[in-house]
Amino acid sequence: MIKIEVGPADFDVGRETQYVAGHGGGAIASFVGQVRDDSNLETLELEHYPAMTQKALEEIAETARSDWSLHAVTIIHRIGKLSVGENIVLVVTGSDHREAAIESCSFIMDRLKTVAPFWKKETRADGATKWIEERESDLAAAEKWKK
Amino acid sequence: MSRSINLVYFAWVRERLGLDQEMISLRDEVETIGDVVAILKARGAAYAEVLSDSEKLRFALDQDYATVGSTIGSAKELAIFPPVTGG
């Protein structure tokens, strides 16, 4: 089972974890990404390419399901204006064993960061805005799964 | 005979062009994404500046990643955007 959601609405980590757990297994891994309290950050605005986002996230989830034995995968990504401490992204994976759950969750996040068409723009307290640039460390993290 | 393609722009590409999408017609000799980029760059200073460094740009044809050398074929939509920064 694969569940993908992209939109402005927040998510409930407990409920989403229960939802994945409900599909069997007994090993549930999750990752939550939130807006970091960087110096003077006022808001983070997330833009995406609607026609491509769903497809890109589904492909990532399908790859995870073919590489690991998973019962369920949930990926939720928010868009719009977010403040410090707010949720941005949630990945939950469910399997029979923890290695598969944890590794696939990590893989999905690494792929998502380098492939899914989202962009972040930060606004500082003084009103200055800046588009966030891609990080070499994210590219390296995604690269390590290629075999 | 000419075909047309919808160009869509995101993030700073969209902001700096002041445009989120536009339809352009392509002559038969236009084959690759690089050809389209060259046509756009010839349109004026704003395009030339924003598209100056293709290393800083990513492309998608009908919502699948593509490269400067990719053939347009019968694709209906070409997206031009910076490297992604979600998650």
C-alpha A94, offset from chain centre: 15
How confident is residue B1, by pLDDT bands cut at 50, 70 and 90?
low
Q: What is the pLDDT of residue A131?
A: 97
Query: Is pLDDT at B2 greater than 90 in this prediction?
Result: no
Q: Nearest chain B residue to A89 by CA: give it.
A: B87
Tell me the CA distances in angstroms from B7 to A110, B21, B64, B70, B80, one per residue in order.
28, 5, 14, 15, 7
Q: Does B44 touch chain A (CB under 8 A)?
A: no
Q: How far is residue A39's CA from residue A29's CA, in Å, rounded to a whole number?
A: 30
Q: What is the pLDDT of residue A38?
A: 84
Q: How far is residue B53's CA from residue B65's CA, in Å, rounded to a whole number?
A: 18
Question: B60: Cβ–Cβ under 8 A, 6 or more apart, which residues?
Answer: A49, A52, A117, B66, B77, B78, B79, B81
For chain A, percent of residues with pLDDT exceeding 90: 94
Residue type, B54: S
- Strand, coil or helix: B70: coil
**ipTM confidence score:** 0.94
Which residues of chain A have a CB within 8 Å of the CB of B81? 49, 117, 119
Q: How much is the mean pLDDT over chain A?
A: 96
Question: A146: Cβ–Cβ under 8 A, 6 or more apart, which residues?
Answer: none
Q: Nearest chain A residue to B81 by CA: give it.
A: A117
Pairing of strands A129-131, A80-83: unpaired
Q: Does B81 touch chain A (CB under 8 A)?
A: yes
Average pLDDT over residues A77-106: 98
Per this entry, what is the length of chain A? 147
Q: Note the pTM of the prediction, 2 decimals.
A: 0.94
Q: Are A6 and A60 in contact (CB under 8 A)?
A: no
